[in-house]
Amino acid sequence: MVLELQKPRPIWQIMFSTHHTDIGLLYTIMSLAFLFMGGALALAIRVEMFSPGPQFIADSMTFNRIFTVHGTNMIFLFLLPFASAVGNYFIPIMVRYKDMAYPKLNAIAFWMLPPAAALVWLGFADFGWYAQPPYSAISAPSPAAEMWIFGLKIIGVSSILGAINFIVTILKCKHPDLPLSKVPLLGWSFLSSSLIVLVAIPTFAAALLMLLTDRLGVTGFFNPAMGGDPIAYSHLFWFTFHPEVYVLVIPAIGMMYEIIPRFSRKPIFSHSSGVFAFVLLSIVSFASWAHHMYATGMSFTEKTVFMVGTLAAVPASAMHVFNFLATMWGGRAKYSTPMMWSVGGIALFFSAGAGGVVNTAMPLDFITHDSYWVVGHFHLFVFGTIAFGSFGFLYYMFPFITGRMYNELWGKVHFVLIFIGAVLVFFTQHILGLYGMPRRVFDYPEIPEWIAMNQIQAVGAVLLGVGMTIFLVNLIYSSAKGKEANMEDPFGLGGKYYYPYQAKNPHHD
Amino acid sequence: MSGHSNWSEWVYIGVVVALLAWVGAEAWNIERLVEHVPENAEVIKVTGQQWFWTFEHEDGTKETGELHVKKGVPYKFEITSKDVIHSFNIPDYLVLMDAVPGRINTVWFLPVDEGEFPIQCREYCGLIHYNMRGTLYIEDGA
C-alpha cells in the first residue's frame, strides 16, 4: 500500500495531476497550512483573554474578526479538506479501483478551495462562523460579509462535488469481488458522511443566497423590519450544520477504525456493528438540529422533540466507543504515535459526548447555552476527537506518503503536549461556562474566577502552540531527512492483520 | 454478527439507552415545572438593543442598564429586541432567553437574595457585545 512514492517530480506535475494520490497530497498540504494559520488565530485569542482589558488586540472589531475566521477556517479549510485528503488516498485503494470515479471532477473540487480560502481570509468577516441575521444581514460590514458568503458558497459546491465522487467510487467502482458489506469501515465512514453532505448542504446553500439578497436590501427573508424571521435562518443553518458535525466526526472515527485494530494486533471486534452505527448516526444526525436553538423561544413541545432526537444519536456513538474498547481488550497494543492519538481521541470523544447529553437536557441547556461551556464542548469534538483522529492518521500515512519515518519520540511529545493543553483549555472552558462567562467576548469584568480560568486556558494554549510547532518541524524535517521507512512494516507490528487489503494498484508498483 | 457472541455489546447498549431515557424523562419533568409561570408574577418588558438593556415595569417606570426588583416577588420577563438578536442573561439566577426582533420571549424568576447581580448579553451582537452589561438590584420589598 504505497500511497505516493514515485520518482521526485516538479511541483507543477502534482498540481496539474488528476490522480487521486496527487489530489490527496494537495489536500493534505493545504489543510495543514490552514491548520497552522487558524491555530495562530486561536493562540492570539487566548493570549488576549489572559487578563481583563485590552492586551495586544487593538479593538473588539479585530477580535470579532479573528474568532470568525478561526472558526470558519478550522472547519472548512482544515477539517473538511483533511478528511478529503484521507478519502482520496484510501478510498480507491480500499474499493480496489485505479482512481476516483471522476478524476477531473476531483481536481476541480480541490481547486475550488484556494479561491474560497482567499475570500474568507482576505475578507476577514466579523459575524461568527454562523453569520446569524439580522446582525449579518443589516449590521455586518461590507465587503467582508459578501466575501465570506461567496467563499462559503464555493466551499459548499466543492463539498457536494467531492461527496458525489466518493459515493460513486464506493458504490459503482468497487471491485466486483468485494461486497459492500466487506468494504473497510473507513470506506463506510466516507460513504455515510458523503450521503449526509448531499442531503444537508443544499439547505445552507439556499440560506446563503437568501442572506446575500437580504444584505443587498432586495429581500427581507431574515430581516424582521421587512417581515422576515431571523430564526428561520437558524433552522436552515443548523439543518445543514448539525449533520455537518457528523460529516466531520464520522471520517475521524473511520480513521480510528483503521488504526485501533492494527496497533492492537487484533481483528476489529465487530465490523457489522461499526457499519450499523455509521448508518444509524447518519440518519439520526438529521433529527437534532434545533437543539442549538432552545433559547430562541421554542415551545416546550418543540424542545422535547429535539431533545429526544439528540439523545437518539448517543447510542450509535456509544457503539463506536464500545467497538474500540472491545477491539483493544486482550490485544497486544503497541502505543506508537498513531495509536496514542486514536486512544486519546476516543477518551475526549467520550467526554464530549457526555457533555452533549448535559446540553440537550432542556433545563441544563439554559445554564450552558452561549457560554464558554459550549466553546469547550464543541472543541472537544472538533479538536479532541476529529483533529486527534486526523493527526494520528497523518502520522500513520506519513511513511506511506513520503517513504520516510517521522521522529517517533517527537511524535509522542507532540501528543502529550497537545493532550495536556487540550484538557487545560477545553475542560476549563466548561467550568468557566458554568460560572456564566459568555462566549465571543473581547473583554470581561474583573471576576477572580473568570481571570483564573482564562489564565489556565492561556497556559494550555501555549502548550498547544509548542506542541503544534514540534509537529510542524517533525513533518518538514522527517519528510526530507527522516530515516527511510521499512515499507513492509513501518511500525514494526508484524502479524497478519497488517494490511488485509493490500491491493495491487495499477498506478503504483 | 461476525461469528462471535455480542451479548456484552447488547447489555452495554441497554445500559446506555436506559441512562438516556432517565436523563430525558428528568429533563422533561423539570423543564415542565420550570416553565410554569406563577399566576401573580409581575411583568417586566425587557428590550435589548446595540448595546444596552432597557426595562419597563408594570407601573410604567422605565430603567436603562439597571433593573430594580423586590425580594420574594416573582417576575415574568417579556423579552424582545429592537435591532439584532441578543440574549438576556442573569447568570446568578440562571435566567437566559434570546431577545429576538419581531418576537416576544418569556422567562420568569423569583429573587431570593438581596444584593447586586450582573446582567449580560450572551448572544454575539456586534462591536460592544462584550460590554452589553447591566445590574440587577434586588431590594427588600417589605
To which H or E segment does residue A339 belong?
A: helix A337-360
DSSP H helices in A131-270: 144-172, 185-216, 230-264
Q: Give the per-residue pLDDT at B6.
A: 77
Q: Give the per-residue pLDDT at A8.
A: 73
- pLDDT one-digit tens code per residue, A277-310: 999 999 999 999 999 999 999 999 999 999 999 9
Which residues in chain A are contacts of B96 at CB distance < 8 A? Answer: 295, 366-367, 369-370
Residue range A389-413: mean pLDDT, rounded: 93
Q: State the pLDDT confidence band at A507, using cuts at 50, 70 and 90.
A: very low
Q: Give the per-residue pLDDT at A4.
A: 55
Helices A448-481 and A20-48: crossing angle, nearest 10°? 150
Residue A498 has pLDDT above 50, yes or no: no
Residue A157 has pLDDT above 70, yes or no: yes
**Amino acid at the residue A233:** Y
Q: Give the per-residue pLDDT at A11.
A: 85
Q: Give the per-residue pLDDT at A402.
A: 86
As a whole number, the mean pLDDT across chain A is: 92
List phi, psi (to 5°) of A323: -60, -40
Q: State the pLDDT confidence band at A80, using cuts at 50, 70 and 90.
A: very high
Q: Which of A118, A26, A46, A50 shows the shortest CA–CA distance to A383?
A: A46
Domain of residue A370: give its range.
Answer: 12-481
Which residues in chain A are contacts of B126 at CB distance < 8 A? Answer: 64, 126, 135, 139
Residue range A50-58: mean pLDDT, rounded: 90
The pLDDT > 70 percentage for chain A reads 96
Which residues in chain B are contacts of A446 at CB distance < 8 A? Answer: none
List phi, psi (to 5°) of A270: -150, 110
Number of domains in chain A: 1
Q: Give the per-residue pLDDT at A9.
A: 81
Q: Give the per-residue pLDDT at A40.
A: 97
Q: State the pLDDT confidence band at B142, using cuts at 50, 70 and 90.
A: low
* CATH assignment of the domain containing A188: 1.20.210.10
The pLDDT > 70 percentage for chain B reads 96
Residue A58 has pLDDT above 90, yes or no: no
- pLDDT one-digit tens code per residue, B11-55: 999 999 999 999 999 999 999 999 999 999 999 999 999 999 999
List phi, psi (to 5°) of A140: -65, 135
Q: Give the per-residue pLDDT at B1.
A: 42
**Amino acid at the residue A263:** F
Burial class (CB in 10 A: 0-12, 13-18, 19+), B88: buried
**Rounded alpha-carbon distances, angstroms, from residue A495 to A263, A330, A395, A489, B87:** 10, 15, 20, 10, 58
Predicted model pTM: 0.94
Q: State the pLDDT confidence band at A42, using cuts at 50, 70 and 90.
A: very high
Residue B136 has pLDDT above 80, yes or no: yes
Residue A203 in any domain: the answer is yes
Residue A500 in any domain: the answer is no
Distance of CA A273 to the CA centre of its chain: 23
- pLDDT one-digit tens code per residue, A87-129: 999 999 889 898 999 999 999 999 999 999 999 999 999 999 9
Contacts (Cβ under 8 Å, ≥6 apart) of A271? A185, B2
Q: Give the per-residue pLDDT at B141.
A: 75
Identify from A57, A59, A60 which residue to disrupt to test chain B contact, counting B C-beta atoms within 10 A and taking the largest count: A60
Residue pairs between chains A and B whose CB atoms are closer than 8 Å: 150
Handedness of CA A134, A138, A144, A145 (dihedral sign): positive
CA B80 – CA A462 distance, rounded (Å): 41
**Rounded alpha-carbon distances, angstroms, from residue A171 to A167, A192, A285, A346, A363:** 6, 12, 22, 29, 44
- A370 in contact with B, Cβ within 8 Å: yes
Burial class (CB in 10 A: 0-12, 13-18, 19+), A380: buried
- pLDDT one-digit tens code per residue, A6-26: 667 888 888 999 999 899 999
Q: Has the ipTM of the complex gone over 0.90?
A: yes
* CB A311, CB A261: distance < 8 Å: no
Q: Give the per-residue pLDDT at A217.
A: 93
Minimal Cα distance from B92: which residue of A? A436
CATH match of B42-139 with 3.30.930.10: no
Residue B78's DSSP bridge partners are B45, B106
Residue A496 in any domain: the answer is no
